[in-house]
Amino acid sequence: MGRFWRAVDFPGVCWYFIRTVADKNEFETIAIPYLDSVFREAVALCQDRKKAEDLAQATFLKAFERFESFEKGSNCKAWLLTILRNKWVDQLRHKNVVGEVLAIEEEMIAEPQRNGETGWSDCQDLLESFSDEQVIHALKELPYEQRLSLFLIDVEQLSQKDVAEIMDVAVGTVKSRTSRARAILKKTLLSYAKDMGFIRGER
């Protein structure tokens, strides 16, 4: 089969493949629909658009190189996000900060949840109640592993099982991290909530 150059665009990035036409067509059909999800997750991890573009680019290049190992019919989105997460951790290791980041996360103690404290029925309601700037600031306060769990569960709507596979941890760990992240996020946004009248019985 012939070989080809192919450029795929997303904000500020072009990446190139040289492969058989059959490989190219199958990859585009299966993986490219998740381009936006991968980029959103990269932004959430990097908290910097340019770095996120580089990370997303590296993720799709790696995914294409390893496409033969992808099990057809399985969850491609989870597979791509696993590659993304691994690339991100590799970058942290190169900067000698991954141990510190993960250690801080594991030392976090779950915040107590008080029934009736807020008017939010779930985390999605909470996030939609505030401006993007407020939410981004609050998310930056979360430890890396908790932020990733929260994002994959509440934003990308992945199952706990898929998130556990992506992060290479037990499902129970995903539940714990997500619960902690939600509690910390609510606490961080508490001052905003008071000003906006979302807190009951504390005015």
Please tell me the predicted confidence (pLDDT) of residue 104.
Answer: 39
Does any domain span residue 147? Answer: yes
Q: How far apart are CA 52 and CA 42, in angstroms?
A: 5
Which of 96, 124, 145 terminates a domain? The answer is 96
The verdict on 47 and 8 lying in the same domain is yes
Please tell me the predicted confidence (pLDDT) of residue 105.
Answer: 43
Question: What is the length of the chain?
Answer: 203
Please tell me the predicted confidence (pLDDT) of residue 131.
Answer: 55
pLDDT tens sequence for the chain (203 residues):
333 334 444 444 444 444 555 567 788 889 889 988 898 888 877 877 888 888 898 899 888 888 888 888 888 988 998 899 888 877 776 665 444 444 434 433 333 333 334 344 455 555 555 555 666 677 777 887 888 888 888 877 788 888 888 888 899 999 999 988 888 877 777 766 666 555 554 44
Does any domain span residue 160? Answer: yes
The verdict on 11 and 66 lying in the same domain is yes
With tokens 């290049």, the residue in question is 61
Q: How far apart are CA 132 and CA 180, in angstroms?
A: 21
Exposed, middle or buried by CB within 10 Å (0-12, 13-18, 19+), for 33?
exposed
Does any domain span residue 43? Answer: yes
Please tell me the predicted confidence (pLDDT) of residue 165.
Answer: 83
The verdict on 186 and 160 lying in the same domain is yes
Please tell me the predicted confidence (pLDDT) of residue 120.
Answer: 44
Please tell me the predicted confidence (pLDDT) of residue 176.
Answer: 92
Please tell me the predicted confidence (pLDDT) of residue 135.
Answer: 65
The verdict on 200 and 148 lying in the same domain is yes
Domain span at residue 124 reads 112-203
3-state secondary structure of 130: coil
The verdict on 136 and 203 lying in the same domain is yes
The number of distinct structural domains making up the chain is: 2
Asked if 1 and 26 touch (Cβ cutoff 8 Å), the reply is: no
Does any domain span residue 101? Answer: no
Which of 96, 129, 153 terminates a domain? The answer is 96
14 forms bridges with which residues in the sheet?
9
Question: pTM for this one?
Answer: 0.52
What is the 8-class DSSP label of residue 20? Answer: B
